[in-house]
Structure 1
Amino acid sequence: MALRRRPSKPRALGVATSSALISVVYSAVPTLAQAQAAAARADEGQVQQVEITAQRRPEKLRDVPIAATAISERELEARGIANVADLAAIAPNVQVSQTPGNSTAAQISIRGSVTTNPALFWEPTVGMYVDGVYVGKMQGSVFDLVDLERVEVLRGPQGTLYGRNTLAGAINLVTRKPSGEFGGSATLEAGNYSAAMGKVSLDLPKLGPLSAAVGLRTEKRDGWVKTTPGSSVGELNDRDTRGGRVALNLDLGRNLQVDYRYDESRADQNSRFSQVVRSTVQGDFGFPGIVVSKGRQTTASIDGPSFETLDLKGHSLAVEWKLGEAGTLKYTWAKRDMAWRDALDLDGSPVLFAHTQRLSDYGQRSHELQFVGGVGAVSYVAGLFTFKDDGFTDNPQRFFGGAVAFDSRYGFTTKADSAFGQADLKLGPALTLTAGVRHTRERKSVDRFLAAGPAVLIPAGTAASTRFSSTTPLASVGYKLGADHSVYLRYSEGFKSGGFNGEAQSVIETTTPFRPEKVKAIELGSKSALAGGRATLNVAVFRNKITDLQQAVFTADGSAASNIRNVGKATTQGLEVEFGARPTADLRLQASYGYLDAKFDELIELGVNVAGNRAVVHAPRHTLNLMGEWTFARTALGTWRALADYAYTGAHYLYPYQLTVTDPTSQAAANTRIAGAGFINLRLSLGGISLGTAATGEAALWVRNAGDKKHVNNMIDFGPGFGNLTQAYYADPRTFGISFSARW
């Protein structure tokens, strides 16, 4: 595999897309002949029961012996959830942060397991799926999907049915299927910072055996950080994204269905402000000009390039063949391609001290064959899966006024094959036994080039390859104590793939692989329906034992990279509670709480076990979500609703640094500790508005981060070896606006 460079800017969707979207929104609604009801809503007498596909077949959430959270289409809209980044604290022991400087890459932590580095050679700890298709990397993982039907958050290892890189869990993004009937919806939204969003979804009438649906979404917002005259860009923390979707269904009779999906997401915006909150650069190196400021700043002066662009395209084709009583055979082919670029002025100041860029290209291909069925008391799913990917990153860096410049490049490939199976055996109406296993084989390769000015540190052609394999079993027992109460005990294993350090500083580091990280987990859970279906209560306790722990500690040596080793073991354990209630037809309540105790059992550095003096990262002890929705008036004009949504994430550390400073030349965990914080979002809506005989509408006022919490979401600490340069990345300030949507 040859190292290569590719163009650094993706194509834009263009003015035509936005114009077409707005045209549909304004012209289509009033002239439609067939009106449908308002947006689907939960049964006003009971808590809504969402179906999920956690076990590769549709099942009610309360019947699945897994700690899972499902969020329906109506709730996604009401709570303003547009992508994975909006899921922070919405489920117990789930924590989501945008990576430093970016808004299209996410750090997702479930039960204390996380991958923090967005570089392409790293594998995620949480698997993300779009309509059953695996999304391979953290870069580009934050994208808006049109027509989301539901989001499923599966906590705990999912290594049997989902496979590699689901050590912590999986997130399923499920889009709506074409209905075959003419209809649709459109939304326009405007807010402060000149924010504007428009989206439209259209179902077309069935044409013979073919049903089709299309959707478009566009969003723009000014940056809430303005820059001074002479800066390299006019603003930071802005938003400019576009997306589209096509869904086709070919109905070839009741036994054969063919589904095609295409989704596209693009972003072209500036980076997030790298606000320096700590620095000894001038005293250590005699380099002046670094601007240090405490508290959230809305004005900046920068001189370095600042941009973030994303061009993401995904295709999938699924063929489902029902074989009568024997079961259903399903084949899925998929490909996803991404061009992702960013540039950061890491010193956040009008001096050339630390500038970096990442110019990445990534592609993946997969095939999956599933057979789902049942015979008598046995239900089963079995399958084969193959996955290939390749990527390349060009990572130029400049430091100390340009006196030190690095040409850093790496490429990689992956080939993974697996076979899996799982079966449920019902021993009577109350008892169900489940067993499953998956075996995966992988081959990985890397090639690397690194130069510092004219000096070549790692010559072109430096390459290596390795092979891994892993077997991940599952066993569980489920027992129904009654029609509305069940308990389960579940043992499962999972793994995060190993690989090579694409940012290594030497030939030896480049060619030395790190092994897969593995987990063995046990979970005890209970799921109940209470008060005749007016309330639900789900509780789970768990204990995870992690081995071959992959750790990367930022060293600030050379071209700002990390060393990666399998350094030890960790234990995470905790409690999760989810509660939902409909005390009356007009009041809906939800609450979830997660408690997490995470610690290192062994962490070897330079031959010494330092587990007792290292911070476990992205593992807040407490997460809490409270949501209430009140229908307080039904009038001739429409139905009035008020919603309040509160999410709290406890304090946590960002890097596995020393808790007690014993080595003053190394970073201290306290310098990048994120304080606990709660955010509240509010929404007031008037729904069911009659738009003649053609459609119904909804108008809403909303505010996010209503308390204007000045909260640091993420940080980078370069450490004493690099002048203690520490940047903070703040959460968005209070945003508010109005939206109007129509359905027909």
Structure 2
Amino acid sequence: MSLVKFLYDCAVIGGVAFWVAYVPRAAAEQYIEVILVQAQKRQQDIRDVSVAVTLVDGEQIARQQIKDTTQLAALAPNVKASKVAGEGTTPSFNIRGIGMLDYNTSTVSPIAIYADGVASGGANFLDSNLFDIQRVEILRGPQGTLFGRNTTGGAVLISSRMPESEFGGYAGISLAEHDYQRVQGALNVPLAEHTAARLAVNHVDYDFSMHNLDVNGQDGGMRQNSLRFLVNSEWDTLSVLFKLYSEDWRGAPKPVYSAGILKDPLSGELCSPAEVGNRGCVDSFGFAPDTDDFWHTEADTADKRHDTDSWGSSVQLQWQIDRVWRLTAITAYKDLERFHSFDSDGPGNFIEGSLGSSSEFFSQELSLSRQGEQSFWQMGLFYLDERLKQNSDLDLFRDFRVIPSLAANAAQFFYHNQLDTRSLSAYSQVDYHLNPQWILTAGLRFTDESTAYRALSDLDVEGTYIPSLWDIRGEVDDGEWSGKLALVQKLSAQTSLYYSYSRGYKSGGYNGGYSTSAEQAADSEYAPERLNAWEVGARLQLPDWNTNLDLAAFWYRYQDQQVFVNQTTGLSPYHVLKNAGDSQIHGVELSLAYTPFSQFMLDVNLGYLPKAKLGEYRQGDIYVADTQLPFASKWNISGLAQYEMNLAGGRMLMQLGFDYQSSFYFDQNENPYLQQPGYSLWHARLAYQSNESWEVALWGKNLFNREYYELRFDSIAALSAVTELRGEARQLGVELNYHF
């Protein structure tokens, strides 16, 4: 897609909006639905905002059994998320083709998560369970001013349910296949005239749908306990919110499927990509799992486990100084300890290891806003200090240690890395009403960020232990301007257009991954990436047609895009984050909410990415040019239909939804063995409420038992195999909720 084609799409969107705005409709002014969002750190009518934003109510999150942040992807166009290294590890978020497919805990995602105003920070804090949620807003596109640190792709804003002035709460239990058990609830208690507290708890215990046939294996599963405690005090001009949370996760990782690609190990004849994954295709050692069932595997995982302990606290103060000035201060601290061991080779011991990390996070934000007659001005300072300690290992070809002729090829690397990141930024943004039809938004942010690192590795080989095989120290320091310039055009009370230019920036750093030489470890620095983004959108409310319609078209030009590069030559795995050239991304989006009558609702989200291509990158044996960005589908379509009816003195609620992703690749090489074919996942829920207190429901996920992958990783050079993490099978469950 050229810039000309992009401008044509913009003209089409503008033409549709203009036609809708000015076609005479007798009832058009009778009812105007106001949708309020916090996309610019204050409550606004969505028609006054120049950001592509999807608002999701917390009730819908609960009804659709959305367990954590990675499952939000089906709710907005051109959004993907995946646990690329298994449950509890670094997740991968992708918005409009921009994401971070990386397994290292040192990763900083270009998609930021803000929970109750607090930034997520490093990768360890991205995956969190969702319970007792008020709302979620998914912002698509670079947020260069107000959420400027490392949000070249977008941001996800999560708002917990706040304490209320009346005593109340709820409790719920859900049981399903794969030994799934969920118990959650909340208690709201008024403490004084101006103060209330809310305690919310969540317990989830489940097994994965993969069945491990190996005698030294386990199926894997997770037990996750979460707690959140909020105290909110509100006076005439001052409010204070205190938050404390804790998470405790224990379990074993999902077993992988090691899919050989050889028809004959002796001749080297290859299976076609469509044949890979059955017993007719073997790896370099002649192995294939003795099953053709997609959710059966053989993997030596008896000693594999996962442990996460995390907690955090924040204080948010808002002071209405006078009629126009308002001060907001948010102070936060988070702490996390995590251990995750993994198996990448099925029943053998050829590529195994662990991800161990300890993270400490502190942030402070101060912002001052002024509400004028024609303008709203925000300015602020943001400071972040984060320390990450990694204690990981990579165990290569352990089975060779008992074979004298091959023992010298076995090696185990132990990594003791430390990264200290400090970020300081200042920002300012103004919304100015030029006249009743036009709103100008202008914002600017300067960020100064540094990452000091120490990379230390020990090596265990046959008969020898080598401490401090390498000990490398360094610092990556950069400063950059980002910002936004936008116009909102209000064509009528129901229709608005917006035109925006955003400059996004993501800082450089150090990729503390699985290096196998001092040269690789020294080569793991990466520079900042920059993104210029042009976007035009329309928000249409059509009362006569009972429809809300949002449209957006965007054109991105990347400079020095940070891309996870997988080196596919050589026996030892080597993957590193590098600046892989100047990329281009073009696309359009549509979100529709249709309510033909009060009992029925239909939501549809459509994302189209005709171009999401990497720039040219060459280093040694690695060469990438004009290939599709990982996790970038051309089409993303999701929908949800909901119908309510009165029945036997109560209320019946029926929901049916789907999420479709067209084909995409799991790495930068467009390797056909690492492709995910297009697929759809369907989900449903049938609930009955006998009164305002009781609800019973039946629910199901992946109703048609669709086979799909969470990850396909290139282990071809080492094993002649593709390492697969397979998606979850169909799951049916029952749920009981009580509100008081």
| Bin for the TM-score computed over the shorter chain | 0.7 to 0.9
Q: What amino acid is aligned across from residue 46 of structure 2 in structure 1?
A: L
Query: Is 2:502 the counterpart of 1:492?
Result: yes
Query: Is 2:380 the counterpart of 1:398?
Result: no
* Matched residue count: 679
Gap regions ≥5 residues in structure 2: 1-29, 269-282, 402-409
Q: Distance in 2 between matches of 1:440 and 1:613?
A: 31
Q: Distance in 2 between matches of 1:633 and 1:48?
A: 25
Q: 2:548 aligns with which of 533, 536, 546?
A: 536
TM-score w.r.t. the length of structure 1 is 0.87
Q: Is the 8 Å Cα contact of residues 36 and 45 (structure 2) preserved in structure 1?
A: yes
Q: Distance in 2 between matches of 1:168 and 1:229?
A: 41
Q: Is the 8 Å Cα contact of residues 365 and 387 (structure 1) preserved in structure 2?
A: yes
1:513-553 deviation line (CA, Å, top 9, x unaligned) = 31111101000000011025831000000001011122332
The 3 A distance-change label for structure 1 pair 533 and 423 is: farther
Equivalences for 1:151-300 in 2 at 5 Å?
A: 151-228=136-213, 230-232=215-217, 234-236=218-220, 238-251=221-234, 253-279=235-261, 287=285, 291=289, 296-300=294-298
What is the CA-CA distance between 1:290 and the residue it aligns to? Answer: 6.0
Q: What amino acid is aligned across from residue 595 of structure 2 in structure 1?
A: R
Q: Distance in 1 between matches of 2:521 and 2:623?
A: 25
Equivalences for 1:468-487 in 2 at 5 Å?
A: 468-487=478-497
What is the CA-CA distance between 1:635 and the residue it aligns to? Answer: 3.1
Q: Distance in 2 between matches of 1:716 and 1:391?
A: 26
The 3 A distance-change label for structure 1 pair 111 and 681 is: same
Q: Which residue of 1 aligns with 2:674?
A: 672
Query: Is 2:531 the counterpart of 1:519?
Result: yes
SS in 1 for 2:512: coil
The 3 A distance-change label for structure 1 pair 533 and 371 is: farther
The 3 A distance-change label for structure 1 pair 442 and 466 is: same
Equivalences for 1:133-152 in 2 at 5 Å?
A: 133-152=118-137
Q: 1:704 aligns with which of 680, 701, 705?
A: 701
Q: Which residue of 2 aligns with 1:13?
A: none
1:573-618 deviation line (CA, Å, top 9, x unaligned) = 1000000011001111111100012343631214899554633211
Q: Is the 8 Å Cα contact of residues 716 and 728 (structure 1) preserved in structure 2?
A: yes
Q: Distance in 1 between matches of 2:128 and 2:290?
A: 32
Q: Which residue of 2 aligns with 1:433?
A: 440
Query: Is 2:732 the counterpart of 1:725?
Result: no
Q: Distance in 2 between matches of 1:315 and 1:157?
A: 27
SS in 1 for 2:565: strand
Q: Which residue of 2 aligns with 1:336?
A: 334
Q: Which residue of 1 aligns with 2:100?
A: 115
The 3 A distance-change label for structure 1 pair 345 and 540 is: same
SS in 2 for 1:478: strand
Q: Distance in 2 between matches of 1:511 and 1:406?
A: 16
Q: Is the 8 Å Cα contact of residues 212 and 298 (structure 2) preserved in structure 1?
A: yes
What is the CA-CA distance between 1:376 and the residue it aligns to? Answer: 2.2
Q: Is the 8 Å Cα contact of residues 32 and 494 (structure 2) preserved in structure 1?
A: no
Q: Which residue of 1 aligns with 2:739?
A: 743
Q: Is the 8 Å Cα contact of residues 637 and 661 (structure 2) preserved in structure 1?
A: yes
Query: Is 2:370 the counterpart of 1:373?
Result: yes
Q: What amino acid is aligned across from residue 736 of structure 2 in structure 1?
A: F
Q: Is the 8 Å Cα contact of residues 232 and 240 (structure 2) preserved in structure 1?
A: yes
Q: Is the 8 Å Cα contact of residues 156 and 167 (structure 1) preserved in structure 2?
A: yes
Q: Distance in 2 between matches of 1:529 and 1:640?
A: 28
Q: Distance in 2 between matches of 1:430 and 1:577?
A: 24
1:53-84 deviation line (CA, Å, top 9, x unaligned) = 11010123333221110101222122222321
The 3 A distance-change label for structure 1 pair 277 and 49 is: farther
SS in 2 for 1:88: helix
Q: Which residue of 2 aligns with 1:27?
A: none
Equivalences for 1:315-714 in 2 at 5 Å?
A: 315-349=313-347, 351-400=348-397, 401=399, 402=401, 403-453=410-460, 454=464, 456=466, 459=469, 461-503=471-513, 504-511=515-522, 513-532=525-544, 534-555=546-567, 560-600=573-613, 602-606=615-619, 612=625, 614-636=627-649, 638-657=650-669, 659=670, 669-687=671-689, 689-690=690-691, 696-714=693-711
1:155-188 deviation line (CA, Å, top 9, x unaligned) = 0000211012100000011101100210011111
The 3 A distance-change label for structure 1 pair 373 and 641 is: same
Q: Is the 8 Å Cα contact of residues 370 and 378 (structure 2) preserved in structure 1?
A: yes
SS in 2 for 1:87: helix
Q: Is the 8 Å Cα contact of residues 100 and 564 (structure 2) preserved in structure 1?
A: no
The 3 A distance-change label for structure 1 pair 178 and 547 is: same
Q: What amino acid is aligned across from residue 198 of structure 1 in structure 2?
A: V
Q: Is the 8 Å Cα contact of residues 47 and 580 (structure 1) preserved in structure 2?
A: no
1:654-681 deviation line (CA, Å, top 9, x unaligned) = 1011x4xxxxxxxxx1111111111110
Q: Distance in 1 between matches of 2:475 and 2:623?
A: 31
Q: Distance in 1 between matches of 2:516 and 2:633?
A: 32
Q: Is the 8 Å Cα contact of residues 164 and 196 (structure 2) preserved in structure 1?
A: yes
Q: Is the 8 Å Cα contact of residues 448 and 463 (structure 1) preserved in structure 2?
A: yes
The 3 A distance-change label for structure 1 pair 600 and 738 is: closer
Query: Is 2:87 the counterpart of 1:80?
Result: no
Q: Is the 8 Å Cα contact of residues 423 and 434 (structure 1) preserved in structure 2?
A: yes
1:667-697 deviation line (CA, Å, top 9, x unaligned) = xx1111111111110111112x23xxxx611
SS in 1 for 2:319: strand
Q: Is the 8 Å Cα contact of residues 316 and 333 (structure 1) preserved in structure 2?
A: yes
1:234-264 deviation line (CA, Å, top 9, x unaligned) = 322x23111110000123x211111111122
Q: Distance in 1 between matches of 2:457 and 2:566?
A: 18
Q: Which residue of 1 aligns with 2:17?
A: none
Q: Distance in 2 between matches of 1:700 and 1:590?
A: 21
Q: Distance in 2 between matches of 1:514 and 1:227?
A: 39
Q: What amino acid is aligned across from residue 224 of structure 2 in structure 1?
A: T
What is the CA-CA distance between 1:698 and the residue it aligns to? Answer: 1.0
Q: Is the 8 Å Cα contact of residues 278 and 292 (structure 1) preserved in structure 2?
A: no
Q: Is the 8 Å Cα contact of residues 295 and 729 (structure 2) preserved in structure 1?
A: no
User: Which of 96-105 and 705-714 deviates more?
Assistant: 96-105
Q: CA RMSD in A?
A: 2.4
Q: Is the 8 Å Cα contact of residues 244 and 265 (structure 1) preserved in structure 2?
A: yes
